[in-house]
Structure 1
Amino acid sequence: MLTNFLKTYQQLQNDKFLLPKRQFVTYGLYALIAVALLYLFVDPAPASSTKLSMKAPWIQEEELPPPSPPLPHQGDEKLRSAPAPSQVSAAAPPCDYSDGEWVPDPRPPPYNGTACDAIKDGRSCMANGRTDTDYIYWRWQPRLCDLPAFSPDAFLRWLHNKHMAFVGDSLARNQAESLMCLLSSWSPAELVHRDAESRFRRWVFHEYNATVSIFWSPFLVKGVEKSEHAGVRYNELFLDAFDERWMSQLGAIDAAVLSAGQWFQIPSIYHEGGRVVGCHGCAAEFNYTETSFFGVFRDVVGRTLAEVTRRREDSRGEQLVALTTFSPSHFEGEWNKGAPCTKKRPYKKGEKELGYTETEMRKIVVEAAANAGAAASSTLRFAAVDVTTLANQRPDGHPGPYMRKNPFAGGGRVQNDCLHWCMPGPVDTFNQLLLQTILR
């Protein structure tokens, strides 16, 4: 169109014709259109506009990493230089970390197992005389992706100005102690509270104003533990009453890690509404209705998460509730008769399948976390930290006889611990998964 116009205009000029008024207006409009087309297709956009639009067109704004959280007003160079936890993980694709296998890893452990003050004596296997250290040199390799190494820096940056509480039984305590050793390798912590039995402890990382606590609550709800030396052979659980030793502290807790399950297998009497409603393992002795501990565990976990949700309804802050799934034991026989755990290597993938108890206990926790998450508000997040499979494949990672110093020195039968975990050891991977749960 532009070429035809120019040819016509040139011919008119050569013939020295005078354009009538109507033709002049028409050709003037053609000229304006031509100029507009030239501007549209030829004139490049300014350089600054190009830089602003370099984002891929299929990426929506809500898919971009959120902005970094404000840093504290401290002169801490570690806080200033490291990337924000949200930026570290925002681009990572979803991954099923529970599906994988243990592979050899020659790297040294993430902390010194004889120097970390948080380790309970029974978990410090090397300090107690264990000489084989092969159990340290393995890492968990998911089948479809990689599990990032634990970053104490990223964890503490996320924990800045927060309080994390581990609630549950001795495996919850085992995981909490592992986390303290992992974090203390980066920043020192002060033990600010400890009860006589070390069942309730609290540390503060002053550099980050971060707090980690341990609350002993093996049933999550109110309960009275059996005491063999006092002649009490059964637990007593009050299914409609909560353990206020930790539940009353929810307002000051930003993240709770719950871990329970082993104590539910012990013979127990169940109370509800002021009366006995059943028992596990004691029906013949007391003429109570025999009740499956699976059903009781499911009921307790569900009620606990519902109560957490109810008590946090009016909270303005965000809270994470992570549930560590069932961690199997590896006793080769009856645990109370000195049964050992003699394996020196992890099981290979498919070599040791989960048993019925492990499968059901894991399933209860995973389903409870999913159900609670679907019903929770936007400020309350529930997630399962699925460790059951990876723990099931590590018969070599327990203290065994080295739950005490020099266990064979006195002769006689030696008690073995094939339930808890040496530190450092497989339990550190629990906290690798916890960190990824937090960042995702």
Structure 2
Amino acid sequence: MAVSSTSSSSSRAGSSLDVAGIVSGLMEAENVPVNKLDARISRSTVKITALGQIKSQLSALKASLIELQTPANFSKQAAKISNASVASAEITAAATAASYQMEVSSLAQPTIWNVSGFTTAADAQAWYDDAAQAAVKTSADATVFLSNTGQYVLSLKSKTTGTAAAFSLTDNTVAAGITKTQYQAAQNATFKLNGVEFTRASNTVSDAITGITLNLATTTALATPVTLTVSNDSVSARPKLDALVKAYNDLYSLFKSQTASSMDASSRGVLNSDFGVASMMRQVLTGLMLPMTNLTGGALAGQTDLSAMGLKLLDSGNLAVDDTLLAAASSTLQTRLAAGVRIGYSSSTTSDLASQIGDMILSGGVIQDRIASEQSTQSDLNKRKTALQDKLIAVQARYTAQYASLDALLFKLQGTSDSLKSALDGLTNSQKNN
């Protein structure tokens, strides 16, 4: 803020000088360096805002590239069982489309023994914790139930299902009045897929069909199989391509407006001649022009340039989806995207364009460093402005004191002059009368 004199307290009736006006005029000249700093701070703020907008657009472009490079986005996988009460299925990208007949003859279950006749819960727990039951304790979890008033039952259940985890209390000793009963014997899950029989210790089976996890829930009626259908339908790449085009064009449009060259300072882009921003745009464009590769960066057969994705770089510098190119590339592109591709992959840096953009906007990257540099410059300018303003406060005070003193002196001299004139006038009149 400029320092100025706004008070007329230094001037008074009869003053020969307008002290406030003189000081105000002098301070306008003194404030010129502050005004110049304000202008530089304002330009710096506009630069930081513009760089922040570019950073935001780069993030959007990075996200659109990642979407195109995510294989799961281009296949719609599903696993459906004709009778959902029998089982459910979870699917991964490794699954292939197929249909299976499935029969479930038995479910995996744990061993359960109940030891009853305890008069307190502590007695039931003590029997379980006794060293004589060490083997049982390793195999089974215990729960104490109050079945009737004063009647406690220790229920022991295998930690896992299947016959391999079975345990027995047949040979375990119990005191008089205590009984042990097997409620449930351990059992494996048994089921068939297309007539091939499987036996597993768990009802969750992930190793029968590649990419499919079966969760068995109940058995099927004899000779009445259910159908498991695995589908893998393709998903159009067009929405993802449109998103990439929009993200790139938005970035390019922002870049052009902020770096515009002009003899007229008012229409010149605030980032005109900014080497870091220009370097960023060259790197993005270069990356888009590089051949598309597979997920590991390996070469792909056939067309691998922008046209292989149905894209075209226009004379205006904008990117566009070309319907003719997309139709020609569609089947191959769909297969490639479902398998996974990398766009703008550089063998020298072993990174793709999305990763490179990520580096640009992180600390140490070209755009983030430009933002940090501009913020540091602005901070220095603000410090210089504050120091200069503090100095000008003292200057204003000195000017005010000096001109107030001069005004007082002139006022005093004016009073002396008036007194002398009055005395001389009196003397002259006296002589005339004589």
TM tier relative to shorter chain:
under 0.3
User: TM (normalized to structure 2)?
Assistant: 0.20
| Structure ID, larger Rg | 2
More helix by share: 2
Which one has the bigger strand percentage?
2
Query: Under a length normalisation based on structure 1, what TM-score does the superposition of the two structures give?
Result: 0.20
